[in-house]
Amino acid sequence: MDAPFQAPARASFREKLGPGGLVSLGLAALSGLALAGLPWIYRLRQVLKGAAGDPAEPADAILVLGRRLERDRLTPVFEARLAHAEDLWRRGLAPRIVVAGGTTGDAARSEAEAGREWLAARGLPPEAVLLEDRSQHTLENLYNVRAHLRAEGWRTLLMVSDPLHLSRARATARGLDLVVQCSPALGCPPRAGSLRWWKRAVHEAFLLHWYHTGMAYSRLVGSKRALERVT
């Protein structure tokens, strides 16, 4: 069997879609419009509820989900994610941090490498920071980390991202049969309740609807090529 689809480094939007991605995107948009936006409203409620995260409990590893670099530098969102992961690590909630994210956009280095450099500057020892530096988006972040978890015999992840991203990240992790706790980096911009925050929430609601639409479509048509990426 061929290896599951993996988007190339610096992939374009279309290259990231993978098997069935374009069809499921169209179905997500059409179903939302046909049902007067009700699926998006339902997913928006999930996004807002998921922003609270879970109580922090000990885990095998802390996972920081990647974020695209700008001019090869960390964005404030990515820095806030890393700072929250550092705080969890210093509180003894996991012995290691996994930073995820490949080389995206026009960056010369991977998101994971940039994250490791930031954590090293904060005094974290090299053995406490692991990298997943091939992925191009959240699904690949989690798919690739799952392989490492299984190889090491680890079971639980304390997953860090900005609050509005967590509902989609949780759904993706569950689809991959990962045991995760979600921990929101509350310092991530934009400010909660601002116009930018609401725009981001609506965007995440659509992406979450797209994810579930893609899962349903792949199962309906029995697409092994698509399902091997998400389950």
Model confidence over 17-58: pLDDT tens digits?
888 899 999 999 999 999 999 999 999 999 999 999 999 999
Q: At residue 159, what is the residue type?
A: M
Residue 40: how many CA atoms within 13 Å on its side-chain side?
Answer: 19
Q: At residue 41, what is the residue type?
A: I
The pTM score is 0.94
pLDDT for 19: 86
Per domain, the residue ranges of the chain are 21-49+194-230, 54-184
Q: Report d(CA 148, CA 142) in Å as an integer.
A: 10
Beta strand spans in 84-124 (E)? 97-100
Band the pLDDT of 2: cuts 50, 70, 90: low
Q: Report d(CA 105, CA 41) in Å as an integer.
A: 31
- Mean pLDDT over each residue of the chain, to the nearest integer: 95
64-83 pLDDT, tens digit per residue, is 999 999 999 999 999 999 99
Q: Do residues 86 and 122 touch, judged by C-beta distance below 8 A? A: yes
Q: Report d(CA 206, CA 227) in Å as an integer.
A: 20
Band the pLDDT of 1: cuts 50, 70, 90: very low
189-199 pLDDT, tens digit per residue, is 999 999 999 99
Which CATH number is 54-184 given? 3.40.50.620
107-158 pLDDT, tens digit per residue, is 999 999 999 999 999 999 999 999 999 999 999 999 999 999 999 999 999 9
pLDDT exceeds 50 at position 99:
yes
pLDDT exceeds 90 at position 231:
no
CA-wise closest residue to 173 among 112, 215, 230, 99: 230
pLDDT for 7: 87
156-168 pLDDT, tens digit per residue, is 999 999 999 999 9
For residues 96-109, average pLDDT: 95
Higher-confidence residue: 4 or 153?
Answer: 153
179-188 pLDDT, tens digit per residue, is 999 999 999 9
Higher-confidence residue: 3 or 125?
Answer: 125
